Structure formats: C-alpha cells, structure tokens
Amino acid sequence: MKSFTIQANDAGQRMDKFIAKAVPLLPKNLMYKYLRTKRIKCNGKRCEISTRLQEGDLVELYINDEFFEERADRLFLHAGPMVEIIYEDENILLVNKPAGLVVHEDESGAPDTLIGRVLRYLYEKGDYDPSREQSFTPALCNRIDRNTMGLVLCAKNAATLRVLNEKIRERELDKVYRCLVHGTPSPQSGRITLFMRKDSKENKIRVFESPVPDGRTMVTDYRVLRSDGQHSLLEIHLITGRTHQIRATMAHIGHPLVGEGKYGVAANSLGFKHQALCAWSITFRFRESCCLNYLNGRTFSLGEDVFATSIQNRR
C-alpha cells in the first residue's frame, strides 16, 4: 500500500489523471479495475475516475509494490547549460531558445532539449525537485520549431500551467515574430489569407489560394520594418496558428525566409545556417482577472537588432 497527500501542484486534477502521473507503471485497465473494487480510495472512501482532487486529500492505493518502482526522472541533469532568461518570477520563466535546439525530446532520445535545460536550471536553483512532486513537472506552454529562435514560456507550477494553457487557447497572449525574407514584399504591409492542408508523411504543408477539402484557413499579417532591396526584415502577427505558417506563407508569395530549406532555398549570402525566424515578443492581454494578473498588459521582447544588423551590414 502507498498513500499520497495531495499538494498544491496536484489539486484540481481528476483522479485518473493524477494516478497516471503519480504511478506511471500502473496500466490503465488495472487502474480502472482498482477504482471499481475500492483498492484505490480517497479520504478512506470509494472514489470515481472523475473525482476532482483537492489540496489535503489522502489518496490510498492498495496495490502491488511492483507498480511503485523508482522512476528515472532525472535525465534532465544530462541536458546542456541554461539558455538566456528574459524574465522570471515565482510562477513563470520566459527564455530565449536558440536556433538548433529542440524544445522537447525527439526520436533521437537525446536529453539536451529546452525543457531539459529548464528543469536542470530549476533543480539546481532549488525551485524544482522531482522527489517532492507527485504528479507535476514544470512545462513549456508554447513551442517553436528546432530551427526557429525566440521566446518560449514555461510554467513553474500547476496553477500557472492551467491558467496559461487557457489563456493561450483563448488567444489572450499576443505573439509577434520577426523574420528575414528574400526581396521586398509589396505592398509593405498587409494581410495574407491562404488555405493549407498538412502532408504528415513529408512533415510539410501544401498551400492553396482557394478553399480545399479538409483544408484550413491560414491568415497572416505582416509589415516591412526595413529593406536593402535584396532582403527585408518583417514583423509578423499570426491571426491563425498553423504548422509552418510563416515559412510556407512567405515562400508562397515569392519571399521565402532566408536560410529556410523546406519551402525555399537554404543557401544564402547572409551566412544563416538556420531559417531567419524569431518568436520576438509576447504581450499578456487577459480579458478576465487571474492569478497572473500582475502580468496583464506587459510586453516582453528580444532586442530591436534581431536580424536587423544582417541588412545594415550590407550597406
């Protein structure tokens, strides 16, 4: 038998979600059976899959010890050193991910990921210890491609993660991108509406100018910040958030991103080894009060010179 006292980072979850995280070796079919047969109890009483846990609840599992074997939960200690921190408080961490670093573990299984570096940093700082957590791990709230650089937001506790996931879903976080493209778009600002269909086999999207069956609308606002005629620095605001939206859209209108090889040509005279695309700023625009209300209206961004010097140095 093993018991768990529900902590702040565990509260608010359904019983089945909590058990799946706290006892990952327990198969789901057995978990459901043990809930039915009262071998899993909450506060000494029978509970349901949908029972919502509250801080202080006692969850007791009368199951075999083999399901409680120690987990290999410190792989993050093999991750690389922490990346640049743009902002941090007790709830969130905002970092600048470099191009070339994956956000989560990929098929290679290599531990050096952005989330690995974040967990290592928080562990060494004393803000996170997996041995003290039963079901929560600090998590990234947004993700960008391996070869895209820029701002990624991390929740340091469960309450923050729930709020940020909701605010992102309701589009209450305004994200702005910057990129370098070949040529100069005309007009110098505008809205591009296209349609896309994903090709999962090639990990690529197909772009169309008219609606297509099983397709999705793709809307992008852009503005030229500066140009030398051969290359332009653009500011991009995504009205929709589709896979590869910026890369595919700009290539489709004849101005592919510098260094981008999937939809354009990777070779470039500016020396970019990765696509010149950056998640440049995040603004919190909450419509209703929440535990992160102290961030409402604030904007966090990278330096004004992101990619700009690439054009200036050619003059």
Contact 154, 94 (CB under 8 A): yes
- Cα separation, 29 vs 42, whole angstroms: 19
Chain-centroid distance, C-alpha 230: 33
CB count in 10 Å sphere of residue 131: 8
DSSP lists the bridge partners of residue 59 as: 4, 42
Q: Phi first, then psi: what are they for 155, rounded to 5°? A: -95, 130
Options 65, 106, 145, 221, the catalytic residue: 145
145 annotated active-site: yes
Written as one string, the DSSP assignment of 223-261 is EEEEE-SSEEEEEEEESS--TTHHHHHHHHTT-PBTT--
Pair type for strands 189-199 and 204-208: antiparallel
DSSP lists the bridge partners of residue 233 as: 180, 226
Contact 170, 162 (CB under 8 A): no
List the one residue out of 112, 139, 137 whose CA is nearest residue 22. Answer: 137
Q: Is 75 left (phi over 0), alpha (psi -120 to 50) or beta?
A: alpha
- Cα separation, 219 vs 163, whole angstroms: 26
| Residues marked as catalytic | 145
